[in-house]
Structure formats: structure tokens, C-alpha cells
A and B are shown apart, each in its own frame.
Chain A
Amino acid sequence: MKNLIKIENLKKHFDNDGVITHVLHGVSFEIHQGEFVAIMGPSGSGKSTLMHILGFLDKLSEGKYFFDGQDVSQLDDDLLANMRSQKVGFVFQAFNLLPRTTVLDNVMLPLMYVKLTGVERIKRAKEAIESVGLGHRIQNLSNQLSGGEKQRVAIARALINQPSVIFADEPTGNLDSKSGLQVMKILQDLNLRQGHTIILVTHEKYTAEHAERVLRMKDGLVIADEKVANRILADGASELAK
């Protein structure tokens, strides 16, 4: 399989008015195209920080980052924005939908920053909304939705740019177990049926076991990198797993 993400000795520190906080102390790993990777670890171990760097939301302090074979260690703000726009999709724990805005407009938001006709935008957004099973909710306002539905809208929004990789930072953290499972099923579907690369941060062992590989972090380092032995397969996904 093709190498999508490769980091070498990646370090990150924050400098808040001279107060330096070292968060990542030299992390190295590779992620292949089509992989479903879970990142686990205690609170404060640097999972989100790592994910922000991988997702072009933040810059690394030291080390190397190759994306799709290209060195992206030193991109400037505009190039980072371009990478976010074209290569990655995000799903956040807090959903982050625009309030008082329709599902359709929420999902279309990333397309506002790419050159597309209005018709094409709507067509793509509708497809994405259908794919997360919310076709009947397309004109609802975001605040009229349940938590699970909101997160599915967020997934549709992450898909709309046809990204190379989807980052999900504790996507089930704010959901009850039933909605959480539904979200995991969708993510697993995207991975198994459509070949999307997915990187998931989670605290829950059960959620992590939907992935095929787990990276364990502690104090800013990856301390384990293992294959999931008994991968949990959501309903209907079993026959697709190799």
C-alpha cells in the first residue's frame, strides 16, 4: 500500500509569551493509504496536538512531515489552508456546526473556498448528506438536530472535499453509545467500502477497536504501535473485511 503520511522525529512546543511548553518529543510513524488508525492515550499526552499538525491546522517545531511523498514540514499559512481545503477533512468532538444554518449550508461550507459552480456544490453536498443517511434533514437548521445527527452532518462536511484523509478527534466523545456506534459504523463504512484513510483519536478501547491499528501515546511520545487483534466490525461490514 502507498505511503500517505510519514513523520520523522516530529517535535512540537508552544511558546506563550516566553513560556515554553514541550508537548511532542519526537514522534515517528507511517500511515498508508486506506488505513484506519486509532490514536489512544491519556489526557494531555499530545493526541490532539499531533492530529492538528498532521491535519495542517498547526505547524511542527522540529522534524519532518511528508504527505503523499511531498515534504510539508515548512508550509506557510496559505499553503496550510490549501492543504486543509483539498487534502483533509475534520470531525471534531464538539461538532462545530454553524448555528441557525441549514444542514445543506453547513455541509457546503468547505466548498465556499474552492472554485465550483453553485449547482455542483449543491449536488456534491446532497450526495454527502445522503451518504450519512440524513437526506430527509437537508433543510433542517443545525440546532434542530440530535447530537448523533450533528456528528453525521460533520462527517458529511468532512467528506465533501473528497479528502485523502479524514481526521476525527474523539467524534463519539459527546454522544450516547447508540449514536456513537452509528458514527463509528459510518466511519468504518467509509474506510472499508470507499477506501478512505481515517485517523481517529479516542479514549475508549471499544471505539478504538473499530480501527485496524492503534498508536498509543504517553507524554508526547508514541509508546506502542499495534494491530487490532479482534477488530470490531459494525453490522454489514464483516464480509468486507479482508
Chain B
Amino acid sequence: MNFKDNIHNSINLFRQNKILAFLTMLGIIIGIAGVIVIISAGNGAQSLITNQIKSQGSNLVAIFPGNGEDEGPPVSVMGIVITTLKYDDMKALKDPLRAPDVLDYTGYVRGSANASWQGNKADTSYVGVSASLPFIEDTAVQAGSFFTAEDENGLQKVAVLGSDVKKDLFNDRDPINELVKIGKHSFRVIGVMRERGTAGFTNQDNQIYVPITTAQKLLSGINYVNFARVKISDETRIDAAMDDIKEILRERHSIDIGAPIDFDVRSQRDALNALFKVTSAVKFFLVAVAAVALLVGGIGIMNIMLASVQERVREIGLRKAVGAQSRQILSQFLVETVVITSLAGIVGIFLGIFVSYLLSLIVQSFGYDWTFSISVFSVLLSVIVSSLIGFIFGLVPARRASRLDPIEALRYE
């Protein structure tokens, strides 16, 4: 019995019991599709993160309130409100003697608000920032101008609109010098940001930028900042600058050397690593789920094959009676299971590619810079894993079949 005959046999098995064969394959199909999607999505997510962080410039340092652990994201990101970081702390960082590498800073105060202009409404969010934001974030206005340090100091009620907000409220009209209502307060529009896309989990075009001081006093009613960003003169100076920043903040917060600090200074590189850790953890979890699906699928196949052996005892007896050696029966059943699982694997690969593609379309529709890619590695891995599963879980049924005694098997009712 050669390989072709074995394949022929397995295909006959399918013809005879299509539904059963399909159900058997389902676990493998899901598992393999899962592997493909996980690897594709993992690569997509990581490319997204790196792209975004690169687009914001790599010589930024972020300061969060609260003492985060070194590993994982800062605690304030988890939604815990900490009020210890003040805007004056930021101002103190711009000290050419104590922190010579700090170029500039901006604080951030965020909140959501309804904005309206002449009956047009936008469900949006405001962000109070420093006048230096365009410099820090490497962006610029497309019309008008950004607010100045004077506006900031004078708590001016001026606003710069994100491009989406501008569209929602003014459509094609010129918004400059119009009065926009943010919550209960009127702000004069002085500029419109150029399109920026999505960063992290916020759409930067659906934001209104106002002076941080005005935001603290009028909109949020707080005296602290949510977080801050500092631009460093050169990438190679980041570590030194971070030490300087920590030193200054510790002094301002009267924290002894060695005592736990109540703020958290992180470079973009740290942020990247933290995000990679999160995505890797999610990836690991999903891989575990896929592995369980494959295991369950494998056990399912083994059971079906055992049942099939039981059903075909007389056939096996006959094959032996007409001259089949044990190992020929063994290979017949092994090939059968491998064919089934490989077929399931192939279906799973196509399903996985399809789902990954859908996923990329969905993510892209939210404005993220997500690249759809399927690695050759994941396809090869899937092919190998699915046939390996067939081999491993086919072994028990195939051995059982091959060990049947021809006379007893022929007598079997």
C-alpha cells in the first residue's frame, strides 16, 4: 500500500462521513486560525506602537504622578487619580544649570466636554497644554496660531481646534476669532491644528487645545497635571536628563534620597518596552488559548479515529487476511489522521488570514497606522503543527488498528 492509496482511502472516509469529519476538524481549524491571527495581530500591534512612538519623536521623557513600578505601565494610566504632580514642578525643570539637557516641557490636563458653535455640537475632549506643545509633539497649526506663554500666564480663554472638531463645528467656514462654547465657557478660536491621526488610544484630531492654566482653573477645577512631557536635547542625553529631572522633583517634593518617590519618569524607550510587555502578555494568553483549542481538537480527532477503528475492525481484519503487514495498517491510519488534521490546518490558515485581514480593516477604519501582514513563519508553523497533531493523536488509534488479530477481527460483529 503506497502513500497515494492511503490518501485515496482518507478521502473516501471523508466522502462517507462529511459532517463528522468536519466537526472533527473544527478544533484544529480554530486553533490554527488562532495562531495565524495572533501572530499577524501581534506584529500589527507592535508595528503600530513603534510607528506612533517614533512619530512623536524619540527624545521625549514623560513624567507621571505616583510611584510606578519599573515594569509595566505607570499607575496613573490605570485610571487612578493622583494629585501630587504640579505645573510648577514642570516650570522648575527648565533650569539650564541643574538640567542642561531639558529643552522644554508641557503639562497635560485632560477632560471631556461638549463643544458648540451656533447650534453645531461636537462631543469632544479638551486638553490643557503648555504653549510649547507644537514644539514638544512635533506638530503645527494649519490655520491661525497656537497660543503663547502670555496667553497661558494670563489664563486666556483661547482655543486651538483639532481638525475633526473644526469640521464638526464649522465645516468649511473660517473659525478664527469665532467664540466656541466648551462646557459653560466661551473660548475664542485662534487656530486649527493640522491632521494628526490617532496616538495611543486617543484621536488627536478630536481634541480642543487650551492653555493648561485655563483648563485647570475653568474646565477641570484642579491644581495638578495629569502628566507631562519633556523634550531632551539629544537621544544620547536621555538618561542623564532623567536623573536631573528626578533630582529636581525629589527636592521639590521633599523626598529623601533612597525614599520612595511619588512620581514616575519614563523615556519613550521605557514606554515602548512597557507596551511590548503588555502586548506580549496578551499574545501569550492568546497563544495559550490556541494551544488548548489545538489540544482539544487533537483529542477529538483521536476519539474519532478510535471510533473509526472500532467501526472498521472487520475491514482491518480483511486487509490483514489478504496480506497487509501491521506497519502497513499503522501507516494507513496515521496517514489518514495526518491528512485530516493537515486539511483542517489548511482551512485554518485561510480562515486565519481572512480574519487577520478583517481585523486590519477594522483597526485601520479607526485611523490607526496598522499594517496587515502574514508571516511565512506562521504559515509554516501552522502546517507543521497541524500535521504533527495528526501524527501524535493518530498514533494511538493507528497502533490499536495495527495490532488487531486478523481472525478475531474478521469474526467481529
Contacts and interface: CB of A to CB of B under 8 A. Distances in A.
Contact of A109 (B319, B326, B327, B407): B319
B266 interface: no
A110 B323 contact: yes
Interface magnitude class on chain B: 20 to 34
Interface stretch (A62-70, A75-83, A177-185, A211-219): A75-83
Contacts of B315: 98
Interface of A is mostly: helix
A81 B324 contact: yes
Given A96-B318, A113-B328, A85 B323 contact: yes
Interface string A101-119: 0000000011011100000
A112 B5 contact: yes
B326 A90 contact: no
B321 A90 contact: yes
A78 B407 contact: no
Contacts of A100: 16
B322 A109 contact: yes
B16 A78 contact: no
A82 B326 contact: no
Contacts of B322: 84-85, 90, 109-110, 113, 157, 161
B110 interface: no
A86 interface: yes
A81 B325 contact: yes
A52 interface: yes
Given A52-B407, A58-B407, A98-B315, A112 B324 contact: yes
A57 interface: yes
A68 B319 CA distance: 24
A36 interface: no
Contacts of A96: 314, 317-318, 321, 410
Interface of A: 52, 57-58, 77-78, 81-82, 84-86, 90, 92, 94, 96, 98, 100, 109-110, 112-114, 157, 161
Closest 10 pairs (CB-CB, A-B): A85-B323, A110-B322, A112-B1, A81-B325, A113-B323, A84-B323, A113-B324, A96-B318, A78-B325, A112-B5
Interface of B: 1, 5, 16, 314-315, 317-328, 406-407, 410
Given A90-B322, A98-B318, A161-B322, 19 more contacts: A58-B407, A77-B325, A77-B326, A81-B324, A81-B325, A81-B326, A82-B325, A84-B320, A84-B322, A85-B322, A94-B410, A96-B314, A96-B321, A100-B16, A110-B323, A113-B1, A113-B319, A114-B323, A161-B323
27 contacts: A52-B407, A57-B321, A58-B407, A78-B326, A78-B327, A81-B324, A81-B325, A82-B323, A84-B320, A84-B323, A85-B322, A85-B323, A86-B323, A90-B322, A92-B410, A94-B410, A96-B317, A96-B321, A109-B319, A109-B322, A113-B1, A113-B322, A113-B323, A113-B324, A114-B323, A157-B322, A161-B323
